Amino acid sequence: MAMLQTTKLPSERWMQLGTGLGLLLGLLLLGNTIWSYSAVTRRVAADRVRREAGEQVSTLERALQSATSASAELARAIEQSQGSILWLRIRDLNGTTLAEAGTKPFEPATSDQLRARLRNRQPSFEVRATAWGDVLMETMPLRWHRPSTQAATVRPFLVMDAAFRVKPEARDALPFRRSLIINSSAALALLIALSLVGLKMRAYFRGQQLEREAQIAGEVQKDLLAGFSPLPNSVEVAAHWRPASQVGGDFYDVFPMADGRIGFALGDVSGKGLPAALLMGVLHGAIRTSCWTNSTHSHEEATEKLNRLLCENAARHRFASLFWGCLDPRTGRLDYVNAGHLPPLLVRPGRQVKERLTTGGPVLGLLPQARYRHGSVWLEPSDILVLYSDGIVEATDGRENPFEEHRLISAVDSGAQDSAQAICDRVLQAVRDFHHGPDLEDDQTLLVLRFVGSKETVDELQPVAA
């Protein structure tokens, strides 16, 4: 587990860092879009107010030529502007105020500052945020011949300081709203997407870790099922196990016993994936530790104990089918219990009839009081016992037709004298040719036992019961 965390944590940290940077960039994009929209619309509004201000000052300039009181004329102009003009002042270049009206929002540029701006080709206006909102302050030249001037030819250079309220209007922002909507929508979509990624990131990496753990569990499960302990030469065994996902609920086991007999089992837990694999592990371990080979009664009692174990500890919708038995290679006697599993096929080369080993009881894990019966059969040399899970016979073709038992029998009969491994390979190839698809719909398990026998076996063999 520590190894898994070491391999996963760095990628998770990089993902978190990338998501954090993406969120920051999204916020910057959204903020910059709003700021740019506000700044541009304010600038456009200020340019519009400047154009309007030039027209108003020109009108005021003409009115001043015939006015008896400049201050009164300035006040009248402010009143007629309906709040767009805040303050007006006429002064000469020395800074002497000649007429003034309104409320000054902030101090305009001095004569020296104005000269410096003109020399540096800087704008003669300024926009500031005040208590009245954005205010445009501009100093403009004024042509005004005061009546008190003695010589008509002398026209001193005057300027007018004017303060105008900048009130953005819909027409100022209209050309820029499309960019605002598009850029803001893109920024918000990025923020929402990255936020969702951040919220799901922990679950994603947890899922990745669980997937890796399931992969390791599948490898462990495969190691547990792979290979057999040394068996007598009178018995050939071949097996195949392939889960539909990384782990499966099917299992098989073949092992020698202390008294010389061979124990074997094949089971199928309902469902697939990790829940089925966990229950499979419990069932597999219980088979190895149960005292079920002492007698017929002990075999039946062990099966009933397994059933109660699953009923008490597994979920109600979880159950398992199981076929388990023991074979005496010296006599060919096979003792078994079939707990709701697909009946294994006993194929006797040269005979048309195939025996199905059905003696036993219901599946394990559903009926706590279920009873099981023990069955026996005698194998003859060259007999073949085929155990399989429903993933073999229920594999479908492209038209949802199942493989079914008759195709399984046909694959076995086509080379009944072959070795167990050859028969196993031929059945699997037939299933693959029929199914075509790379993915399995259910776990597939196949176990083939071929009773070879020997001279001693033939001498001791009991006749098969009719």
The domain spanning residue 436 has which CATH number?
Answer: 3.60.40.10
Among 145, 172, 199, which residue terminates a domain?
172
Please give the pLDDT value at position 146: 59
- Tokens 């699953």, residue located: 310
For the chain, list residues with pLDDT below 50.
1-8, 149-154, 458-466
Please give the pLDDT value at position 416: 83
CATH number of the domain encompassing residue 90: 3.30.450
In contact, 292 and 303? CB cutoff 8 Å: yes
Please give the pLDDT value at position 302: 93
**Domain for residue 204, yes or no?**
no
In contact, 361 and 372? CB cutoff 8 Å: yes
**Domain for residue 184, yes or no?**
no
Contacting residues for 156 by C-beta, under 8 A, at least 6 apart: 92, 149
Residues paired with 237 in a beta bridge: 449
Expressed as residue numbers, the domain containing 285 is 227-460
Same domain for 258 and 385, yes or no, is: yes
**Angle of the 170-225 helix axis to the 274-289 helix axis, nearest 10:** 20
Please give the pLDDT value at position 153: 46
Same domain for 446 and 347, yes or no, is: yes
Same domain for 239 and 347, yes or no, is: yes
**Domain for residue 314, yes or no?**
yes
Same domain for 112 and 232, yes or no, is: no
pTM of the model: 0.61
What burial letters (b/e) apply to 427-447, b meaning 16+ CB within 10 Å?
bbebbeebbeeeebebbbbbb
Same domain for 277 and 399, yes or no, is: yes
Same domain for 302 and 438, yes or no, is: yes
**Domain for residue 128, yes or no?**
yes
Q: How far is CA 432 from CA 222, 238, 330, 412, 426, in A?
A: 20, 18, 36, 15, 10
Please give the pLDDT value at position 315: 66
Nearest to 421 by CA among 263, 249, 228, 219: 228
Same domain for 249 and 365, yes or no, is: yes
Among 172, 188, 212, which residue terminates a domain?
172
Total of domains in the chain? 2
Please give the pLDDT value at position 303: 94
The sign one gets for the Cα dihedral 161, 162, 166, 172 is negative
In contact, 123 and 117? CB cutoff 8 Å: yes
Please give the pLDDT value at position 92: 82
Same domain for 446 and 381, yes or no, is: yes
Same domain for 253 and 154, yes or no, is: no
Same domain for 361 and 266, yes or no, is: yes
Among 129, 149, 172, which residue terminates a domain?
172
Same domain for 243 and 322, yes or no, is: yes
**Domain for residue 376, yes or no?**
yes
Residues paired with 320 in a beta bridge: 269, 364
Euclidean distance between CA atoms 386 and 344, whole angstroms = 6
**Domain for residue 319, yes or no?**
yes
Please give the pLDDT value at position 462: 43
**Domain for residue 389, yes or no?**
yes
Same domain for 116 and 43, yes or no, is: yes
In contact, 329 and 234? CB cutoff 8 Å: yes
Euclidean distance between CA atoms 377 and 459, whole angstroms = 17
The sign one gets for the Cα dihedral 414, 419, 425, 431 is positive
Please give the pLDDT value at position 381: 93
**Domain for residue 417, yes or no?**
yes
Please give the pLDDT value at position 446: 95
